[in-house]
Structure 1
Amino acid sequence: MLNQHDGLESRTRFPPARQIAYGDHPDQVGNLHLPVGEGTWPTVVLIHGGFWKWGWDRTLMTLLAHDLARRGYAVWNIEYRRVGQEGGGWPGTLEDAAAAIDYIAGIDVVDPNRIVTVGHSAGGQLAVWLAARHRLPVGAPGSGPRVRPHAAVSLAGVLDLVRGAVAELGSGACAGLLGGGPDDVPERYATASPSALLPLGIPVLLVHGGRDDIVPSSQSHEYAAAACAAGDTVELVDLPCADHFDVVEADDPAWLAVVERLPALVGNGA
């Protein structure tokens, strides 16, 4: 079944998104949105949030997918197993995100040299983590990437899982994802937390609202400082008047700040 917003596609004159399975589980799927016309497209991998918990799904990002397709990007809006369903959490959620992005290496309309990950909230963690997979030790969930993004974008992302666990963000969501606190399973935090995997070696864009009372903007500020110190190229767009959800509204200045920078982030394919 296509997600609840797919009916909007006909009204925006886009061909229907293709739902494609990248695995055997019903939630190991993504929706591929394409621009009008033929070509090999720069591609955005969209990753929804919801504190990695079952009950939130990729329909949260569908309107952003429409906007990106209109702007000439292929969009791979992915689903993954979440905490609260069989196989979700550690390591399944991470393995699904990795399998989803690797799947598009075989899609001929995707330019493999112009892929950017964009994630919101918990999806921000996954978006930046996907860009850090080459830093993982052999055998770790997600190691050995087939696809390496050209850049990553975090929209109000949870980028330091240790700090997130200590602050009990999302009523203990970080511990829920990893199956324990930082003192219980430190190796899992070292594997899954983007801040523990620096440097990435690619540009990272961070967008965060000053009025965010769900994921504090300190998550982005502290990541930016650590990434810059490690030698990475990082831009932080700090929007004092934005809240946690403004950053995924297609007509909000927060989202416009992303699309303005996307051409530079996807690069020229070289």
Structure 2
Amino acid sequence: MPPSLRPLLPALLCAGLAHAEPMKLADYLALSGPAPTLTLAYGKAPSQYAELFRPSGPGPFPVAVLVHGGCWTRQYGGIVQLRNLAGALQGHGIAVWNVEYRRVDEAGGGYPGTYQDLNAALDLLGAQATAQQLDLRRMVAIGHSAGGQLVQWLAGRSRIAASSPLFQSAIVPVSQIISLGGLADLRREQALIKSSCERDLVDLTGLPSAQRPDVFADTNAAELIPNGSHTTLITGELDTVSPPRVAHDYAARARAAGDRAEVIILPGASHYDEVAAGSPSFRLILPAILRALALDEADSLPKRNRID
């Protein structure tokens, strides 16, 4: 936990953060939120689109890019559940770009399609920034579970070799990353990903070839550091899909490489509390998002809660 949050912990615990009933998968699947302001396609496939949640009033607005999890498959929900978090952030004056993408069990998903979808979704965000009054200089990418892997990968795209199908010469840079129960280190966490998601890594990395002998070189976020990013890894104390050890291990590796990384453990929380705006865990997650966007907490309060 960063020093700035340590003084808050006793009050948060007394408020019931550690004693709330941890969410289960069924609770997560029941999550929903408001309808987006706008839905825009970045490709022709049904899953190639993003939802914009634009705050009311004039911009420019800071931006949170949301990337859902679900073990990279369609089985465990995704973009609909993250509307819960999107609506909460919209209420705090933050524009949200909620990204859908082709998953490994969809035509064109997996390697390289899933990663190319993230590239295209960020390109579309860049193209819409002026018209939608979005301030991309104040941007954070937030991913949950498998989405944590994808946003951590986004931070390192500039290090991908030109010979890779995932290479782009011009990218929308993302240097502030929040990974919620992320499974980002594909190489070192193969066994965990297999046990948690029943996922063979070949779906995410593709097969080796003479031109690409190391399948982790362009897919594994941990191979693309240092990249100048600041990663906040937030994990529930009771998360069994991506346990706290995973966050600590990745943060240590990132810091050793020269990047900034910190870990926040959510007391009494599961893998699913991490993305629920109604969960007590949100009291620790929201300040981390505001810090990543260089926002003052009082300035980001919904208008109904402000005392001017």
Q: What is the TM-score of this pair, normalised by structure 1?
A: 0.87
Give the C-alpha shift of residue 215 in structure 1: 1.9
2:18 is matched with none
Whole-Å Cα distance in 1 between the matches of residues 267 and 33 of structure 2? 32
Gaps of at least 5 residues in structure 1 are 11-15
- Superposed CA offset, 1:55-82 (max 9, x none): 3331120010000000011100010001
- The percent of aligned pairs where both chains have the same amino acid is 36
Residue 30 of structure 1 corresponds to which residue in structure 2? 50
Query: Corresponding residue for 1:177?
Result: 204
Stretch moving more, 68-77 or 133-142: 133-142
Whichever residue aligns with residue 23 of structure 1, its letter is G
Q: Is the 8 A contact 2:33 2:86 kept in 1?
A: no
Q: 1:122 to 1:110 in 2, by over 3 A?
A: same
Quickly say closer, same or farther: Cα 1:191–1:205, change in 2 above 3 A. Answer: same
Structure 2 residue corresponding to 1:63, chosen from 84, 96, 102: 84
Pick the aligned partner of 1:217 from 239, 244, 256.
244
Give the AA of the match of 2:158: H
Cα deviation, residue 162, structure 1: 1.5
1:131 aligns with 2:155: yes
Say which SS state the counterpart of residue 9 (structure 1) adopts.
Answer: coil
Q: Deviations over 1:176-224 (max 9, x none)?
A: 322469xxx8622221111111112121111011211112222211100
Q: 2:292 aligns with which of 252, 262, 265?
A: 265
| Local SS of the residue matching 1:264 | helix
CA apart distance, 1:231: 1.5
CA distance, structure 1, for counterparts of residue 82 and residue 284 of structure 2: 17
Give the drift of 1:166.
Answer: 3.0
CA shift for structure 1 position 172: 2.4
Match among 171, 176, 180 for residue 155 of structure 1: 180
2:73 paired with 1:48: no
Question: Displacement of 1:253 after TM fit?
Answer: 3.9
How far off its partner does 1:264 sit? 2.5
- Per the alignment, residue 113 of structure 1 pairs with 137
**Which residue pairs with 1:197 in the alignment?**
224
- Which has the higher relative contact order, 1 or 2, with Cα contacts under 8 A spaced 6 or more apart? 2
Shift of 1:158: 0.4
Moved more, 63-72 or 223-232: 223-232
Q: Quote how far apart the aligned CAs of 1:235 are.
A: 1.4
Q: Is the 8 A contact 2:160 2:217 kept in 1?
A: no
1:238 counterpart (254, 262, 265): 265
Matched residues, number: 257
1-structure distance, mates of 2:169, 2:93: 30
Q: Counterparts of 1:191 and 1:27 in 2: how far apart (Å)?
A: 23
Amino acid at match of 1:124: G
How far apart are the structure 2 equivalents of 1:73 and 1:200?
25
Which amino acid in 1 is paired with 2:39? Q
The reply on whether 1:166 has 2:191 as its aligned counterpart is yes
Higher mean alpha-carbon deviation, 51-60 vs 202-211, is at 51-60
CA distance in 1, matches of 2:115, 2:145: 15
Residue identity in the other structure for 2:232: L
Stretch of structure 1 that moved more, 17-26 or 66-75: 17-26
Q: Which has the larger radius of gyration?
A: 2
Aligned residues of 2:33 and 2:81 also touching (Cα < 8 A): no
1:90 partner letter: Y
Contact 1:53 1:84 in 2 (8 A): yes
